[in-house]
Amino acid sequence: MAKLWGWALSVTSLLLVVRAVMAGMGNNAPGLPSCNCEEDWGLLELVTRCQLASDFLIALAYFSIPLELVYFVSFSNVFPFRWIIIQFGAFIVLCGLTHFISIWTYGPHSFLIMLAQTILKIATALVSCATAITLVHVIPTLLHVKVRELFLKHKAAELDREMGIIKDQEEAGRHVRMLTNEIRSTLDRHTILNTTLVELVKTLELANCTIWEPNAEGDALKLTHELDRRFLQVPVTIPASDKTVQQIIQTSEATVISPVCALGKASNHRGLAGAMAAVRLPLLCVSNFKGGTPEVVSASYAILVLMLPGETGRVWTAHEIDLVEVVADQVAVALSHAAVLEDSHRTRDALVEQNKSLQLARQEAETAIRARNDFLAVMNHEMRTPMHAIIALSSLLQEGKLSLDQRSMVDTVVKSSSLLSTLINDVLDFSRLEDGSLSLEMRPFELPTVLREAENLAKPMAKGKGLDFYFDINMDVPQFVIGDEKRLLQITLNIIGNAVKFTRHGFVSVSVSLEKYDANIRRDPRNPSWRPIPVDGFAYIRIVVKDTGLGVRDSDIPRLFNKFVQADSTTTRQYGGTGLGLAICKKFVQLMNGHIWIESEGLNRGSVVTFLVRLQLQSDSSKERERPSREEELNKEDLNGLKVLVTDDNSVNRIVTRRLLDRLGCDTTVVESGQQCLAALSQPGSNFKVLLLDLCMPEMDGYDVAKIIKQKFRPGEPLVVALTANTDKGTKERCLQIGMDDIVLKPISLQEMSSVLCNLLHHPKSGTRSQGYPNGR
C-alpha cells in the first residue's frame, strides 16, 4: 500500500512539472531571442498552431467524458461507486479547463488569464491527489469484485455443464420411459425381447442388436433374437465358458467389447458394425407353486449385444452406456414378470387338467353312487315286497290255532324274516350314512319314555337267556328334549342287543346319566383328547352298557366300528350278525355330536360300551309332543267296521294287506290302479275312512293319485296313508308335501298295522309317527 501511494504521488508531481514547463515555454514562445532564423520561426509557428489545435481537442474531449459519465450514472441504479465518478468527472473538467485556458497563453496575455490558469492547475492538482488517494482504497474492492465476477463466471459455466447433464439425463429418462412403456406393454417373453431390439435400434441409431440365451444344459449361448430374422434360420452358438462371455455375465454394468472377440464376430456376421457393447439380462425362472408361494430357482443370464454403425466412426459415450444399463434393468424386471406369468399359466393349465381329471373322477363317482343307489332302491323295493308278504302272513299264522310243531316252524319263519328285515335296514341305513343322504329328524320327545321303551324291548331278550338285567336312569336326566328319538332308540337297542347276544351267563346293566364336565370322569382311553363342549341350551347324555359276556381283545377294539367286521370269525358262526350294527351306531352318534367307545379287560371278561349324545333341552313342557297311550295304540275295537281302500298294483301285496286288515276287523276294498282308486272314491256312498296307497304303480303313481284326491275331496276324507318300500328321506318329504296323512314302510306285521291305524284315527295328520320309517330295529 505504501509503494502504491508513493507511485501515485510521483506521477502526480511529474505531471505538474511537465505542465509548468510547457506553460513557461508557451509564455516565451513568441519572443524567443535565440531564434534568428526565419526558417525556425516558421517551424515554431507551425508547432504553436498544432498545440493550439491539440489543446482545443483535448479540452473538447475532457468536456465530453463527464457528460458520458453523467449519462451512465443516470441510467445505472446499482453502480456502487458514484462518488468516485463525481471526483473523476471533476478532475477531467478541471483538466479540460486548464487546456482550454492554455489556448490564450500562446500569445500575449493578461495577468488575469495567467491567474485563472494558475487557479485551475492548483484545483486540478488537488482533485487529482484526492482521486489518487481514493483509488488506493477502491482498487482492492474492484479487484475483489473482479475475482468474484470470475468466480461467478466459473460457477455459471459449471451450472451450464450440470444443466447439460440434467438435460441429457432427462433425455435419457424420456427414452427409458418410452422404452419401458413399449417393453412392459406385454408380458410375453419373446415380444419383450423383440420390442427391446427394435426400440434400442431406433433410439441409439444402431446398426444391429442381438440377444444370446443359454441352452437347456447351460454350457452354450444361442442366438435367439435379431432384427433380421433370416439369419436366425441357421443355429449360431458360442461356448458359455468364453472369456468375454464370462466377463459380461460377472458384472451388472454394460461393457464395451472388441469386434474381433468370439461374441463380437458371431454378432457381426453381416460385417456392417463398428464399436460394440454388451450387457447381461437376468432370466428369472419361477416354478413349483407350494401353498401359493413360488419357489425361485437360480437365475441364468442372457447377453444383449449392441453394435454402432461402422461407417460413422462413432464410439460409445458414457451417456449411451448408462442408457443401455437402465434399459437392461427394465428388461430384466419385465422378463421376471413374464417368467412369473408363464409359470402361473403352466400351473393354471396343470390345475385345469387336474380339475378335468377330478371332474371326470367325480362324475364317475357320482355315476357309481347313482348306480349303487338305484340298485339299492330296486333291491330295497324288490326285497321288501316279498318280505312284506312273509312277515304279514307269518303274523297272521301266529294268530291262528297251531300245533306245537306248526307254531315252532312259524316262529322260526317270523324270526328269520325279522333278521332279514333288520339286515336290509342296516345295509340301507349305512349306505345312506356314507353318501350323506341320511340326516337326523329333530323333534321334541320325552327322553325317559324312549329309554323305558328300550328297556321294555330288551328285558324279555335278557330274561329269555336267563340273564340278570338292570336298567337305571339317573334323576338328573332331563325329561323333555329335542332330537331324533328313533335313532337314539336304534342305537340303544343295538348296543343292548349286542350285550345280551354275546353274554351266556351273568348280567347286563344299563345306566343313563347327565354328562358332567368333570376332568376326573372316565374318558375314551384311545382318544383322551375328546371332550364334550358345553353349549347353552344343550346337554350330553351318557349311556353305559356293561355285560359279563365274551369280552374283546385289546387289539381287536379299533376294528369293531368298521363295517362288515367282527372281532372273531367264530363269533359270526356262533352268534350270527353282519358286523354293521356298531358301524351304524358310530355314524349316528357322530351325527348327534357325540362319541362312542368300547372297553374290555380281555376275552371272557365282559365289556363296557359307553356313548354320549348331545340333545337340545326343552324347558317348556307345554311344547312336548303328544304321545298316544298304550291303550290307544292297541285299541282294536276302534278298527271294527273301518272302511279301508287298498290300492296296490302287486297282487301279493293286495292279498297280504287285505288279510291283515280283515284280521283287524276292517271293511276292506282292494283295487289295482290309480284310476280304479279314484273311481271307487267317487262312487256314491263309498265313505272310505282310510286309503292305503302304494306309491310305485304304472300309468298313475301314488303321488298323482294323492294330488287329485286332495283337490277333489275334503281334507281327511279319506285319510291317505302311503304304503311303500322306499326308505330314502326324499320319499317321505315328498309325501308330506303333497299332504298325505301318514307313511307305512314295508314289510309290516299285524301289530304294526294295528298301531298305525289306531294312531291315525286318534291323531289325524300324524306324518311324524310313520311306523317303521325308517325302521328302528
Nearest to 554 by CA among 526, 579, 521, 583: 526
Partners of 483 in the beta sheet?
A: 443
392 in a known ligand binding site: no
Could you give the C-alpha distances from 397 to 411, 422, 556, 755, in angstroms and in order? 9, 21, 43, 19
Nearest to 225 by CA among 264, 190, 277: 190
Q: Which residue has the cell 324279555?
A: 460
565 Cβ neighbours under 8 A, 6+ residues apart: 559, 579, 583
500 in a known ligand binding site: yes
Partners of 547 in the beta sheet?
A: 508, 607
Reading the block at residue 132, the C-alpha cell is: 489518487
Nearest to 196 by CA among 204, 255, 234, 257: 204
Torsion of CA 525, 529, 535, 541, to 10 degrees: -10
70 Cβ neighbours under 8 A, 6+ residues apart: 89
129 in a known ligand binding site: no
Which element (helix H / strand E) includes 221?
strand 220-226
99 in a known ligand binding site: yes
CB-count burial class (<10 Å; 0-12, 13-18, 19+) for 184? middle
Q: Which residue has the cell 272310505?
A: 688
CB atoms within 10 A of CB 701: 15
Which element (helix H / strand E) includes 305?
strand 293-309
Collapsing DSSP states into helix, strand and coil, what is residue 47? helix
Collapsing DSSP states into helix, strand and coil, what is residue 562? coil
499 in a known ligand binding site: yes
CB atoms within 10 A of CB 372: 13
Task: Tell me the Cα Rg of the chain.
Answer: 62
578 in a known ligand binding site: yes
H helices of 664-701, in order, are 674-682
498 in a known ligand binding site: yes
Collapsing DSSP states into helix, strand and coil, what is residue 313? coil
Alpha-carbon distance of 172 to 382, in angstroms, equals 88
Alpha-carbon distance of 325 to 523, in angstroms, equals 72
Alpha-carbon distance of 407 to 201, in angstroms, equals 109
629 Cβ neighbours under 8 A, 6+ residues apart: none
95 in a known ligand binding site: yes
For the beta sheet containing 237-239, the strands, ordered from the edge strand earlier in sequence to the opposite edge, are: 237-239, 220-226, 208-214, 293-309, 273-290, 255-257
H helices of 184-297, in order, are 189-204, 243-249, 262-267
547 in a known ligand binding site: yes
Q: Which residue has the cell 333341552?
A: 617
Binding residues for ADP: 498-501, 547, 563, 578, 582
Binding residues: 95, 99, 498-501, 547, 563, 578, 582
Binding residues for Cu cation: 95, 99
